[in-house]
Amino acid sequence: MKILICTSPDDAADIAAQVIARTVVATPDCTLGLATGRTMEAIYARLVMRHRAGDLDFARCGSFNLDEYVGVAPESPNSYRFYMQDHLFGHVNIDAARTHVPAGVGSDLRAAAEAYEAAILQAGGIDLQLLGLGENGHIGFNEPLSALRSRTRVVTLDEATRVQNAGMFGGDPALVPTQAVTMGVGTILDARSVLMVATGDGKAEAVRQMIEGPVTAMVSGSALQFHEDCLVILDEASAAGLSQRAMIAYQMQHDPDLRFLVAGAIG
């Protein structure tokens, strides 16, 4: 795990967008794993700006999103498919046929989840998986007690998650579906690289558990400690609970990869 602590959420979004852009430039036919949530909005806005400026070509990219609500149709403004269309897909030249979001409606969601796993494999796996962090420490919708080897499946959402995500449902947690389809922790760990972005003081405790806590199914983000190529981008607020700040600052100064990213953000 490499950790970069930025002074502000804007800086965190700048660097995250830069990491994604570099992947797309270096590997034009890459497969991106994409995430939703408020944290991602600033990142997608930056990717759209770069595309409009002519710097970023998504024509050969494919994508797989992490999750979708059960019972919410793709055309509903509450769906993650709609979110992706609204924040990214509708504004860049990615081929719609190569964008994938798990199906939240259908007669056999279990079979659809298995087919989703097969489609990821058929695409050659995910090159870069973008992740946000739930306030309860989840990645995707892998709620507490999710098996660390889990695959794409239907899950029941934690009450805390329904409260956290009520914004998309008019602010009423009761309107947030009780179930979702999510890539599993095992699916996420199979990505060749992982980019986790968490900002704001609401994430500080989850960030602490993800980075410094034991690996536990109670905090699916902690499974990222097993990943060999995982970059975590934080801001000061989300990093506030970490006890190892001096060590992280030292690595930010001396690790060539981290120095390169920081220099790129400033330059």
Taking the complex as a whole, how short is the minimal distance between the CB of residue 117 and ligand GLP, in angstroms? 18
Q: In the structure encoding, which two tokens stand for residue 138, read together?
A: 């989840």
134 binds ligand GLP (CB under 6 A): yes
**229 included as an active-site residue:** no
Of the residues 14, 51, 65, 67, only one is catalytic, namely 67
Strand, coil or helix: 195? strand
Q: Which of 38, 91, 98, 162 binds ligand GLP (CB under 6 A)?
A: 38
C-beta closer to ligand GLP: residue 67 or 117: 67
Q: How far, in Å, are 28, 45, 156, 216 from residue 22 at the CA level?
A: 10, 16, 36, 32
**138 included as an active-site residue:** yes
Interface with ligand GLP by CB under 6 A: which range of 35-43, 90-98, 205-213, 240-248?
35-43
Taking the complex as a whole, how short is the minimal distance between the CB of residue 134 and ligand GLP, in angstroms? 5
Identify the sign of the CA torsion 32, 37, 39, 44: positive
Could you tell me if residue 137 is left (phi over 0), alpha (psi between -120 and 50 degrees) or otherwise beta? left
Closest CA to 252 of 7, 87, 18, 85: 7
Interface with ligand GLP by CB under 6 A: which range of 50-58, 94-102, 129-137, 170-178?
129-137
**51 included as an active-site residue:** no
Strand partners, 198: 234
Of the residues 138, 158, 165, 235, only one is catalytic, namely 138
136 binds ligand GLP (CB under 6 A): no
C-beta closer to ligand GLP: residue 171 or 256: 171
Identify the sign of the CA torsion 81, 84, 86, 91: negative
Of the residues 51, 78, 127, 136, only one is catalytic, namely 136
Which residues are tagged catalytic? 67, 136, 138, 143
